[in-house]
Amino acid sequence: MKKLEKQDFLILIIIILFVFLIIPVTVFRDVFSGYFTFIDTWTEKPIIYLKKQIVSKTPEKHSVNDERLSLPDFKFVRFEINIKADDVYVIGDFNKWKHINNLTLKKNIWETEIPLVSGRYRYLFLVDGKEILDPMNPEIDYYDGKKVSVVEVK
């Protein structure tokens, strides 16, 4: 039997790394991307920042548990579209018009839920790189010279 040379040993290590690292990451890409998208949109940093700002601007006689100092309520808003596509994102005021909120395909409908505070939000769907209005929402507005859909969170 032939003795393994240094070059053969390195090739064997590269093949093993490829099999155990690259292939699982590729297979579970959708799982990882969905997880990291949720992390990008929902962190505790804004809440901690808001809490520090509210508490620091109040007189000392008020306690942190004072009802007037409560944090804003988040409501989960569902975005969904029935369309044949490979990739669908929702872009809007709530994510600075960046395609970080990808929708997942469930029973022929692309959908996601995004936590938002009360307010009026403009958005579009990014379907395979093309911006389109929400076909199920008649409310429209204009942003940057183009029509966009609008959702009101109460």
For the stretch 66-103, pLDDT in tens is: 566 666 788 899 999 999 999 999 999 999 999 888 99
Residues 53 and 36 in one domain: no
Same domain for 147 and 82 = yes
DSSP 19: I
Question: Do both 63 and 80 map to the same domain?
Answer: no
- pLDDT given at position 136: 92
Say whether both 81 and 147 belong to one domain. yes
62 and 83 both lie in a single domain: no
Do residue 121 and residue 100 come from a single domain? yes
Statement: residue 149 has pLDDT above 90: yes
Distance CA 76, CA 112 (A): 9
Burial class (CB in 10 A: 0-12, 13-18, 19+), 153: middle
pLDDT at 20: 77
pLDDT at 30: 62
Range of the domain at 54: 44-71
58/102 same-domain check: no
pTM: 0.55
- Please tell me whether residues 20 and 89 are part of one structural domain: no
Domains in the chain: how many in total? Answer: 3
Q: Indicate which CATH number applies to the domain containing 126.
A: 2.60.40.10
Mention every residue, 6+ apart, whose C-beta is less than 8 A from residue 124: 90, 91, 92, 131, 132, 133, 134, 148, 149
Bridge partners (DSSP) listed for residue 125: 90, 132
Do 67 and 77 have their domain in common? Answer: no
Q: In terms of domains, do 34 and 60 share one?
A: no
